[in-house]
Amino acid sequence: MWVLLYGLVMVMKGKFTYVGIRVRDLERSIGFYTELLGMKVVGRGKVEQTRGETVGLVSEEGGFLLELNYYEKDSPYDTKYAVGEGLDHLAFKVEDLDRALEEARKAGYRTVLEMKADGGRWAYIEEPNGIWIELFQ
């Protein structure tokens, strides 16, 4: 569906449905998101055209999808990895921030930054690919 914006430009209306991130170690990344953050794998498949594999994860039924994208060493998409490639971070709401940080530490993921502002508190841990994960309650 196209929408006329300000009488000048046609803008396609879309629904934001998922984020795809490139990962270096698919199994380790699946473990991080499922074991530490409690996400569930809802799909997995090979993509012959890119010589890659994708895994879809959600935090809850019908929730926002995180797609992990892995490319074989001979894939043209297996390029030098720059952390995030402009992606700043992914955010997860948790019930107990202190407990979540302790679980992450025990699993080998260090806290890279903790912040407090306007009565709120949040922290960042680093996932296996170097992407910062924001945890907040």
Residues 79-116 pLDDT 10s: 776 765 667 688 898 989 999 999 999 999 999 999 88
| Predicted model pTM | 0.73
Structural domain that includes position 97: 89-137
Kindly state whether residues 65 and 103 are assigned to the same domain: no
Residues 6+ apart with CB under 8 A from 109: 32, 36, 125, 126, 127
Q: What is the CATH number of the domain that holds 114?
A: 3.10.180.10
- Residue 82 lies inside a defined structural domain of this protein: no
Q: What pLDDT does residue 8 have? A: 57
Q: Show the DSSP H helices in the chain as ranges.
A: 26-31, 97-106
- Residue 135 lies inside a defined structural domain of this protein: yes
- Cα separation, 52 vs 130, in Å, equals 20
Domain count, the chain: 2
Kindly state whether residues 60 and 106 are assigned to the same domain: no
- Burial (CB < 10 A; 0-12, 13-18, 19+), residue 8, is exposed
- Residue 9 lies inside a defined structural domain of this protein: no
Residue 1 has pLDDT above 50, yes or no: no
- Residue 78 lies inside a defined structural domain of this protein: no
- Cα separation, 87 vs 21, in Å, equals 9
Kindly state whether residues 95 and 120 are assigned to the same domain: yes
